[in-house]
Amino acid sequence: MELLENYRLVDLTVPIKTPNLEEMDPKLATSLAAEIEYLDHEDTIPLVSGYFGCRPEDLHGGCGWATERVRTSTHAGTHVDAPWHYAPASGGKPSRRIDECPLEWYFGRGVVLNMTHKKSGETVSAQDVKDALAALDYTLSYGDIVCIRYDTDKTFGTAAYWGEHPGLSAEAVRFILDQGVKVIGVDSPGFDIPFAKTKAKFADSHDNSILWEAHCAGIDYDYSHIEKLGNLDKVPEKGFYISCFPVNLYQGSASWSRVVAFVPKDQ
């Protein structure tokens, strides 16, 4: 409790929810949407009374229990990606699955780099990162959890959320990781620019280096990143801590996380 007396907690997540499928590209919907069936206390009466071998009226208040059935992806909602998501090998070794990544990665000093000036389809360069760090008078090091703020979460629940956001360049990811960082987060649905914008750029250039470039930087680095953060505008740019432990999903490429910022109450 002493910890909570000195810090305020800020939720940095967006919820896992059933979206309006008109908001999403159908291909995205099949992989990133959640189908949630909500069962209330009345719905489960036959199930619960069957478990206990009793009559419905024997149940307290004549009620079963509330529960939900969920069909979704490990990449829905705010989630942490494991190196296995990027490629079968990372840093010259077999890529770690989410349950194999060190827990030490997922609690550390929070750093928010403001990239709200970036437009949809634009990429954050290594120089952009250096300039943001210089403005903060901050030097990255091992244990830092770097969050890239676009404010894309403000459009959550609309079509723009899925198709209109900036992304990281491979060079920006490499620069951050070269400082010893093990976790990078973004408040957009993807680490890269939207698929449709990448497709258009590739059609013009046929340069395959731009295909999933930020993710593919993980081929050379053993690290995790977080997608679909929220509320980065509600925390300071430095001087706080982040907890982003992923759910222990066996051999997963990713898992969901309730990402929380611990902000000193005097900030």
Model confidence at 3, pLDDT cuts 50, 70, 90, reads low
Based on its alpha-carbon atoms, the radius of gyration of the chain, rounded to whole angstroms, reads 21
Give dist(CA 12, CA 114) in Å, integer. Answer: 15
Model confidence at 2, pLDDT cuts 50, 70, 90, reads low
Model confidence at 25, pLDDT cuts 50, 70, 90, reads confident
What is residue 30's predicted lDDT score, i.e. its pLDDT? 67
Query: What proportion of the chain, given as a percentage, has pLDDT over 70?
Result: 97
pLDDT of 48-102, one tens digit each? Answer: 999 999 999 999 999 999 999 999 999 999 999 999 999 999 999 999 999 999 9
Predicted TM-score (pTM) of this structure: 0.94
User: Looking only at Cα atoms, what is the longest distance across the chain?
Assistant: 70
pLDDT of 191-240, one tens digit each? Answer: 999 999 999 999 999 999 999 999 999 999 999 999 999 999 999 999 99
Return the sign of the alpha-carbon dihedral for residues 242, 247, 250, 255. negative
Mean pLDDT of the chain: 95
State in Å, rounded, how far the first CA of the chain is from the last one. Answer: 19
The residues, ordered by sequence, that sit 6+ positions from 103 with a Cβ below 8 Å of its Cβ are 245
What is residue 221's predicted lDDT score, i.e. its pLDDT? 96
When pLDDT is averaged across residues 160-185 and rounded to a whole number, the result is 97
Distances (CA, A) of 1 to 39, 74, 162, 245, 266: 35, 32, 39, 20, 17
Q: Which of 29-43, 148-162, 224-238 has the lowest mean pLDDT?
A: 29-43
